[in-house]
Structure 1
Amino acid sequence: MADDVKISKRKAFLPVTEDLESYLDQYDRLYSLPATYADLRGFTESYPLDDKHGNATHWASVLYPQEVREHLYPRLTSIYSLLRTGDMQAVPHLFVERVDFCEFGNSRPFRVRVVNQYNDNYDHFYLKVSDASRVYGLELEHLLSPNRINYLAHGGTLVEEHIAGVPGDAFIRDHLDRPEVNRVRIAKEFVKFSERCFIRLLGDMRSYNYVIDITPDFEDVQYRVRAIDFDQQSYEGRRNIYLPQFFKENNAVVWLCGKLLNLPTMQQYQDEERSLIARRYLSEHQRLSALIECMKKNPREPQDKVIQLARELGEHHHTSRFDHCDSMGAIVETNLEVALARHLI
């Protein structure tokens, strides 16, 4: 089992630059929002929120004075409508049942539960502090992964849809040992997920930062591992931060991969994933180039981390192509080109 990788300090927020804001506007991510992250900070009380089994979570439900609720909650349903339909007009049968707050993590998110009063069906969305690293991570996920990402941005606020799935830590704890779980498919999907993370340099994929999307198929069940936290997009300087197998929280799945998959099979799955990413890279090349140009044009990440990551990736790939990378944007661009080279011919 690999040594555990730790991130010792909370990541600094990187401001959204004018160039990145222009990019978001060009690709229909930028909207004037009727409520902001700062508006939700005005709660006066909170109480711990347990899960359905009575276990403590990192979330607390927050309460607002009645006069604040009367103005804030309709604006939140308008944001939900905008996120889901592109229309600011709030649907009258939707209402906000609860707002939760999480102190854990970099983005300190608010989670809003919206309920349909006709059938009690509910959905969630999130308001977070806008951060350039997170925006880059969301965009790269949308462009290069098999998953489409729905989010909105404005000023210091980021609005994200809920990504459905069983949290990775809960899946490992409660599902992995069940007899009906297809462990080979879980191992396969973790290898593919790890490959996606490393190629686009998404870090800190501990088990609570991804979910397992479970889809019944005609003969069995299909799984997909999906990232839900994008704060550590190309920020840290250590290569292993971008390799999920080096986090102790993933040890049970890493052990499963080693037990059930031999090296040729792992290499096959990695190659399959690189081929798929290369196709997306080519089909989205114009938009991807514009995004990377934003990353390169106004680098705000610590320079010592840039130097370290360029050196470690150069050693990993046995190439000098990273030697002149002076920003994380340049490193992401080079890592994509080097990792996908055989598939881009």
Structure 2
Amino acid sequence: MSQDPVISKKKPAFPVCPELDAYLETFNRKVEIPIFYEDLLRFSGSVVVYDNKEEDSLWVRVFYSDSDRKEIDLSLKRVYSILHSDGGDRIFQYLNVDAVDFCTFGNSKPFRIRVRNILNDNFTYFYVKKTDASRIYGLELEHMLSPYNLNFLVYKNTLIEEHIAGIPGDVFIKEMLPSCSESEKSQLAKEFVKFNERCMICLLGDMRSYNYVVIPVHDFDHVVYKIRAIDFDQQCYEGKLAIYRPQFFKENRIMVEMVRKKLLVDSVDQYKVEERSIVAKRILSSGNRLKRLVEIAKKDTISRPEHIDRLKKEIYDLTLDMQFKKCTHMGEILALALDFVRRNYEHVSMKQIIEKKIDI
């Protein structure tokens, strides 16, 4: 286990360039919404939100004046309808905005909106955040290259994200992992290896245990656990390669120890190859959408020059690919990393075809 990597204390929010804005409009991510992040900052008071153990959740529940509350509630219902339905107002009568929570922890300082269906008391959340180009790249890459689809909207300086359901990683490690069976721990170890590899390939950083969720899936007579990222603030920004590898964070130490105890080195290598192959297949099947996104990122400013210089050197040391040394933008490093995975997959696949003498 390496020393816990140090993350920059303050990451700036990068503006959306015209090319990325056009991309978002092409793929229906850019939709006009009736409320902006700044509108929600007009709250007149707040109270601390405690979790079920009466501990500070780091969220505060905010309140608005009577005159603002009616307008804000209506606008948030419309955002919910745009995000989850057809944008019409006929469902408004069945919706209630139960709470607007504000988080002062971290860079994004999001608002969490709880919307409830009054007919059956089912509820869901969505988040209102400040627009950040690097976060948008992270959301799009997760949508295309992970096993999961993501629903989000961007309009001017406001980003709307759907809620990703699951058990927060830190909560799972502390409260649920000790009671998992040995076979469940082995399966979790495998999933963590794959999650670690996928984050490194896609340059998604800061996957400490509270930035991902563990999702239990019931399959016949047993439970399968999946790990899914929920925070994309550190996409393609930091200069240390270790920050893009969840295994090096002290918050994940228990997961790393579990991998060491439950998996042989050959098994770890096998699961890494499996994940690289799956990502390569998604790259190939994503078509022009991924190509267009990466081409935009290659010219965009989403990191600092010193971070770019450090990361390209560290990735060169890992891959010995001279192309990384020529990069001047973080998007170029990302493009080469994805291309490196794709080329290796295609080379191995072609080699297997030749060795087996299969007619192409």
TM-score norm. by structure 2 comes to: 0.94
Distance 1:309 1:320 in 2: 13
Structure 2 residue runs without a partner (length 5+):
348-360
Secondary structure, in 3 states, of the residue corresponding to 1:326? Answer: coil
Secondary structure, in 3 states, of the residue corresponding to 1:140? Answer: helix
What amino acid is aligned across from residue 69 of structure 1 in structure 2?
Answer: R
Does the C-alpha gap of structure 1 residues 124 and 305 become closer, same or farther in structure 2, counting only changes over 3 Å? Answer: same
Secondary structure, in 3 states, of the residue corresponding to 2:200? Answer: helix
| Aligned ranges 1:270-309 → 2 under 5 Å | 270-309=272-311
Of 200, 203, 206, 1:204 maps to 206
Distance 1:296 1:113 in 2: 37
Secondary structure, in 3 states, of the residue corresponding to 2:324? Answer: coil
Matched residue pairs, number? 345
Shift of 1:148: 0.2
Distance 1:239 1:285 in 2: 28
Secondary structure, in 3 states, of the residue corresponding to 1:143? Answer: helix
TM-score norm. by structure 1 comes to: 0.98
- 2:357 maps to none
Structure showing greater Rg: 2
Question: Aligned pair 1:325/2:327, yes or no?
Answer: yes
In angstroms, what is the RMSD of aligned CA positions? Answer: 1.1
| Aligned ranges 1:52-131 → 2 under 5 Å | 52-89=52-89, 91=91, 92-131=93-132
- 2:247 maps to 245
- 2:144 maps to 143
Distance 2:287 2:243 in 1: 26
Secondary structure, in 3 states, of the residue corresponding to 1:19? Answer: helix
CA deviations over 1:174-214 (Å, ceiling 9, x no partner): 01101447100110100000011000100000000000011
Shift of 1:10: 1.3
Does the C-alpha gap of structure 1 residues 306 and 90 become closer, same or farther in structure 2, counting only changes over 3 Å? Answer: farther
CA deviations over 1:242-265 (Å, ceiling 9, x no partner): 010000000000000011111110
- 1:24 maps to 24
CA contact (8 A) 1:130 1:157 kept: yes
Secondary structure, in 3 states, of the residue corresponding to 1:113? Answer: strand
Identity %: 44
- 2:353 maps to none
CA deviations over 1:102-151 (Å, ceiling 9, x no partner): 00111100000001111111110000000001000000000100000000
Question: Aligned pair 1:12/2:12, yes or no?
Answer: yes
Secondary structure, in 3 states, of the residue corresponding to 1:21? Answer: helix
Shift of 1:337: 1.4
Question: Aligned pair 1:224/2:220, yes or no?
Answer: no
- 2:186 maps to 184
Distance 2:346 2:121 in 1: 49
Structure 1 residue runs without a partner (length 5+):
none
Secondary structure, in 3 states, of the residue corresponding to 1:69? Answer: helix
Secondary structure, in 3 states, of the residue corresponding to 2:129? Answer: strand
Distance 1:344 1:60 in 2: 50
CA deviations over 1:4-63 (Å, ceiling 9, x no partner): 112141111111111111000000000110111111010010111011221211100000
Secondary structure, in 3 states, of the residue corresponding to 1:12? Answer: coil
CA contact (8 A) 1:165 1:213 kept: yes
What amino acid is aligned across from residue 255 of structure 2 in structure 1?
Answer: V
Does the C-alpha gap of structure 1 residues 280 and 196 become closer, same or farther in structure 2, counting only changes over 3 Å? Answer: same
Distance 2:133 2:88 in 1: 25
What amino acid is aligned across from residue 239 of structure 1 in structure 2?
Answer: L
CA deviations over 1:201-254 (Å, ceiling 9, x no partner): 000000000000111110211111000000100100111010100000000000
What amino acid is aligned across from residue 69 of structure 2 in structure 1?
Answer: R
Secondary structure, in 3 states, of the residue corresponding to 1:199? Answer: helix
What amino acid is aligned across from residue 71 of structure 1 in structure 2?
Answer: E
- 2:352 maps to none
- Which stretch shifts more, 6-15 or 109-118? 6-15
CA deviations over 1:140-181 (Å, ceiling 9, x no partner): 000100000000000000000000000000001101101447
Distance 1:125 1:164 in 2: 11
Secondary structure, in 3 states, of the residue corresponding to 2:46? Answer: strand
Distance 2:276 2:302 in 1: 29
Secondary structure, in 3 states, of the residue corresponding to 2:255? Answer: helix
Distance 2:40 2:181 in 1: 43
What amino acid is aligned across from residue 246 of structure 2 in structure 1?
Answer: P
Distance 2:116 2:301 in 1: 41
- 2:356 maps to none
Distance 2:346 2:8 in 1: 37
Distance 2:234 2:90 in 1: 34
